[in-house]
Structure 1
Amino acid sequence: MGSAVVLEEKWPVLGRHERAAEWLRVWTDLGRAPRTIDAYARGLAEYLLICERDDVDPMTAGRLHVAAFVKDLSTRPSRRGANVVALDSGAGLANATLQQRLVPVRLFYDYLIEEGLRESNPVGRGRYTPGRKFGSHERGLVPRLVKLPWIPSEQQWLDLLDVVREESARNRVMLALAYDAALRREELCSLRTDDVDPAHRTLRIRAETTKTRRERVVPYSAPTGVLLSGYLAHRATISRARGPLFLSESRRNHGQPLSLWTWSKVVRRVALAADLPLTAGPYPATVRAVHRRPRPLHPHRPRPLAHRALRLLSPLHRGHPLPGPLEPPPLP
């Protein structure tokens, strides 16, 4: 109940629509992640505001009214203005964000149908199945754009490493692990001391920290292991308690777990210092490029990028206070 009150305080329009608040309470009670609930509440609140502006009852709205909502999202001025130059941004929301805003609206109408309050969903959904000759070929309300991820060039990566080499031991090992083990932001910041197995150079990614809710074990390279051992020695000077692996070193939150937002600010600062391009979204292109590497599903699967990881992460080791040559890891 408390979560619903907070959402209604953040978006007062939800308090004016009983069914919308009820639907969000259902998702909250089912244990959805707080950020998922927050994203659902924001998307649905924006839709309800458009309905109020056009004097439309959302309980009886049709596809015409949903299309008006899509048009508003697609044409509203971007808060980044003319600095954003991309196929699906610069004016209005990016295609991926627009898709995200439509998800809670579609799910809300699915809920109304299940409750017997509507007969159809005005948002609809795509039902095309590739390779199915006689399958349904219905398209979604908004075309989905799939763009290639940004990948840094060799020189851009070296520029990035030059900047990261001057960072703290914590930031160096975090970047190395993010690259080497292909970790998402939350997976990286949620690592605990008992998730690390230095003997086998593996990390355990707990199911509750993953987007897919599937636990996995991922390996990391020898250079990353050197960085990690140096950071663990440094961490002992901050706290010897077991728990979160990465701790804040600021005066205000000294010894507290590192937040997602702090890591995002670190990567953004590093990307700007290395003169790397930033995406239209809130996270630097560096994070997106690192996170879109293929994720290993099994610790014993051959890793064709082992030599590349050794070559690219070695400059970080050279900036580390611990001496000692690096031996290339044996190939599986």
Structure 2
Amino acid sequence: MHEDVERWLLIQENLGRARNTILAYRHALVDYVSFCSTNQIPICEATREHVSLYVRSMTDRFRQARSSVDILTSPVGLANATIRQRLTAVRLYYDYLIEEGIRSHNPVSRGRHTTTARAAMPGPTSRALVPSYSVLPWIPDEDEWRHILTIARTGSPRDRLMLALAYDAGLRREELCSIATGDLDPARRLVHVRAETTKGRRARVVPYSVPTGMLLEAYLHERRSLTRDRGSLFVSQSRRNRGVPITVWTWSKVIQGLARRAALPCLATHTFRHLCLTDLARAGWELHEIAEFAGHRNISTTLLYIHLSGRDLSAKLARATCAHGQRMIEIGAFLGARP
């Protein structure tokens, strides 16, 4: 790694950035430094042309199969979100070099939207280097959901409880794995999600259902056989790390195995949270209520998580066009049209 890169990452860590954010920055900059080294580009002297070559390399890069699901190697480049994330890390790094007086300009331009509402705002406008694509996340239908639960029944009490909490309380992976024994209020069936474990650094209290409470009781009995220490709720069951708090990667591997056995490659740790928020929308919750439940700062973020399936839209369309269709039949009858 370049010395300035390590220094910038250390500064971000000292400023209290989330651990996963630091890991994402490091992964992105390792990739960028490797590209510059391979192409003999001095990282501190890179130009926009060099950055454009880096974007091209990511676009043409092969995506290798991961252990989560058996994805065949594809000629499609890195995902749009991955490319944008890596460019963000590179841009922030060059901002640091400008502040330190090492560079005079940033080769990674910051795009600005030119919508009608903002067209009259002063200042230059430009497009981002890589456009953003909004893709609807996958959620299982009813048959797929029951199939997932059928496969998950063979799992350990810990894994079954984690799946239930992930959906029931709409928890992110980091939030779920960071639950401590003191965060639970079994009497009121509440979970206190601490601010330091959340993406937006916002604490919240979320409820869980009676079935989840029953799974919790069964798991606590098993946990006492592993460790009697307070602290992390979810601990390892392996001989090597018996009683040690699990990591987010442990939960990811559990879901990867579940996805493989269920033959649902799109299943991920975030699927349960997304399905929960979508179900709340279907149940008639107001948007601000769902945002509060999910811990979103901005309601626009909540909208990204909520979408209705094609079946829901078809049902809505049928109800909406019922009156319209009846009126057209009347028009046809009076005007002499025959079906």
- TM-score between both structures, scaled by the size of structure 2: 0.74
Match of 1:193 among 167, 181, 185: 181
Matches within 5 A, 1:43-82: 43-80=28-65
Q: Note the alpha carbon deviations across 1:41-80, whole angstroms, 9 max, x for none.
A: 2222322232233333222222111000111111122213
Deviation of 1:296 after TM superposition, in Å, equals 5.6
Q: Are positions 1:183 and 2:168 aligned together?
A: no
**Equivalent position SS for 2:226:** coil
Q: Are positions 1:291 and 2:273 aligned together?
A: yes
**Equivalent position SS for 2:191:** strand
Match of 1:172 in 2: 160
**What amino acid is the match of 1:124?**
S
**What amino acid is the match of 1:53?**
T
Q: Note the alpha carbon deviations across 1:143-193, whole angstroms, 9 max, x for none.
A: 111100101010000001111112121111110000011111111111011
**What amino acid is the match of 2:190?**
T
Give aligned-pair identity as a percent: 48
Q: Where in structure 1 are there 5+ consecutive unaligned residues?
A: 1-13, 279-284, 300-332
For 1:94 and 1:202, how far apart are their aligned partners in 2? Answer: 37
Q: Are positions 1:132 and 2:127 aligned together?
A: no
Task: Supply the RMSD in Å over aligned alpha carbons.
Answer: 2.4
Deviation of 1:23 after TM superposition, in Å, equals 1.9
**Equivalent position SS for 2:269:** helix
For 2:65 and 2:154, how far apart are their aligned partners in 1? Answer: 30
For 2:22 and 2:177, how far apart are their aligned partners in 1? Answer: 21
Between Structure 1 and Structure 2, which shows a larger proportion of helix residues? 2
Alpha carbons 1:84, 1:90 under 8 Å: kept:
no
Say if 1:133 and 1:264 are closer, same or farther in 2 by CA, change over 3 A.
same
Match of 1:209 in 2: 197
Structure with higher Rg: it is: 2
Say if 1:39 and 1:298 are closer, same or farther in 2 by CA, change over 3 A.
closer
Match of 1:102 in 2: 87
Alpha carbons 2:112, 2:126 under 8 Å: kept:
yes
For 1:180 and 1:296, how far apart are their aligned partners in 2? Answer: 15
Say if 1:160 and 1:115 are closer, same or farther in 2 by CA, change over 3 A.
same
Match of 1:159 in 2: 147
Match of 1:24 in 2: 9
- TM-score between both structures, scaled by the size of structure 1: 0.76
For 2:98 and 2:240, how far apart are their aligned partners in 1? Answer: 49
Matches within 5 A, 1:3-42: 14=1, 17-42=2-27
Deviation of 1:129 after TM superposition, in Å, equals 6.7
Deviation of 1:249 after TM superposition, in Å, equals 1.6
**What amino acid is the match of 2:199?**
K
